[in-house]
Structure 1
Amino acid sequence: MGVLLLGGAMVMDVSVPAGLGRVNNLGLMAERQNYTIIGGILLIAGILMNMRGGRGSSDKIAASYSDTRACPQCAEQIKLAAVKCRFCGAEVEAVAPPKLKHGWVASVPCRLGEDQERAQAAIKALGFPAVPMDGANIGAGPFSTKQEAKVAVKRLSGEQSVFATVDYRDTVSGKFPPLPD
């Protein structure tokens, strides 16, 4: 798009007929300048987008969080936890899913000390992993879907009488401490 706009601006005629021939029109010259600037910006943006985020990069990201793997015998996609291939019937070893570094969390607001210990005990009692959140807050998770975090919030409030909210814990904002491996 930027190349087309630049090309159109360069061939644009900025002169108008006058009594003794043709003279340059300041309005048309300003319009050509605007088209040149916009075309240049679009061209640079297109080049940067092409270099940084091609279509293949999102496929790689999706594949890295997939819950499937290739069967070692027939190369068909099977679940990570599978012990037998559904395509060829080969016995395979189950692979533990990768530990999430970010995701949806049932966040429990608390203060340092006894309040924090009580929240952490409630999370552990339900079998959820406890993760540090911002400040003294503790979270249950992370979970891959928001729905799983909502279920954890309901279980925390219903079974443990602990108030929690659903938050997204990321690794790039710097808001949350890093998770241990």
Structure 2
Amino acid sequence: MRAFGIIAVTIGALMLIGALVMDVSVPAGLGRVNNIGLMAERQNYTIIGGILLIVGILMARKSGSRPPAEADSDTRPCPACAELIKTAATKCRFCGEVVEAVPAPKLKQGWVASIPCRPDEDRSRSEQAVIALGLPVVPMEGFNIAAGPFSTKDEAKAAVKRLSSEHSIYATVDYRDTVSGKFPPLLD
């Protein structure tokens, strides 16, 4: 649909430009006079080009918007009535059916509490501290590890504070992504 909109915008713009540069006069005797037939043709090209341009813009914009609630990642269909409900819901608000809550998906990228480590017992001590706090351990560059990933920077800051206060481990807040190629991929 978006491609048809772009084609319609292009054709409409070309028709408008063509109508603006169209010569509607014809030679007559000592000069030139306007031809009513050519003026009507220019008017038709202008109207059709303008309509195509407007329709094309609307088609291109309409198809660029996201579809309704099915695209929301925090909703799912109710297994009983198929109405959309929140992922964390335990009861359908439409039919009243008790449904099983779906666990949140494991993050592949996000904010982490990054811990610089040496390859010896320093790494294992840091890893045990992260596990003791009940946080997931993720590999970082080299021998470094991290706690996370978290969806917000504040969650990572809280993990840094807990590592520092409860286990005397230095950590920094970093963003661990999946596209830079700097970090090893996380397995499910």
TM-score range for the pair, normalised by the shorter chain length: 0.5 to 0.7
Question: How many residue pairs align between the two structures?
Answer: 134
CA distance in 2, matches of 1:55, 1:112: 49
Q: Which of 100, 103, 106 in structure 1 is aligned with 2:113? A: 106
- The CA distance in 2 between the partners of 1:85 and 1:128, in whole Å, is 31
What fraction of aligned residue pairs are identical, expressed as a percent? 67
2:114 counterpart SS class = strand
CA shift at 1:174, angstroms?
A: 0.1
Superposition pairs for residues 51-130 of structure 1, below 5 Å?
54-56=64-66, 63=72, 66-130=73-137
SS of equivalent residue, structure 1 residue 86: coil
Aligned to 2:155: 148
The answer to whether the 8 Å contact 1:67/1:97 transfers is: no
What is the TM-score when the length of structure 2 is the normalising length? Answer: 0.60
Closer, same or farther: CA 156–86 of 1 in aligned 2, 3 Å? farther
Match of 2:176 in 1: 169
Distance in 2 of aligned mates of 1:76 and 1:164: 45
- In 1: Cα distance, 2:84 partner to 2:157 partner: 30
Question: Alignment partner of 2:125: what SS?
Answer: helix
Counterpart-to-counterpart distance in 2, 1:124 and 1:156: 11
Larger Cα-atom Rg: 2
With the length of structure 1 as denominator, give the TM-score of the two structures: 0.62
Q: 1:68-104 CA distances to partner (integer Å, 9 max, x unpaired)?
A: 3232334444332322123431111221221111111
For residues 95-118 of structure 1, the C-alpha deviation after alignment (integer angstroms, 9 at most, x for no partner) is 122111111111111111211101
The aligned residue for residue 31 of structure 1 is none
- Runs of 5+ unmatched residues, structure 2: 1-9, 22-59
- Equivalent residues in 2 for 1:4-43 (5 A)? none
Distance change >3 Å, CA 163–CA 87, structure 1 → 2: farther
List per-residue Cα deviations over 1:127-159 (Å, max 9, x = no partner): 000000111111101111111111111111111
Q: CA separation of 1:161/1:68 partners in 2, compared to 1, >3 Å: closer, same or farther?
A: farther
SS in 2 for 1:104: strand
5+ residue gaps, structure 1: 12-49
SS in 2 for 1:117: helix
Q: Which residue of 1 aligns with 2:27?
A: none
Between the aligned partners of 1:55 and 1:176, the Cα distance in structure 2 is 33
Shift of the 156–172 alpha-carbon distance from structure 1 to 2, 3 Å rule, reads same
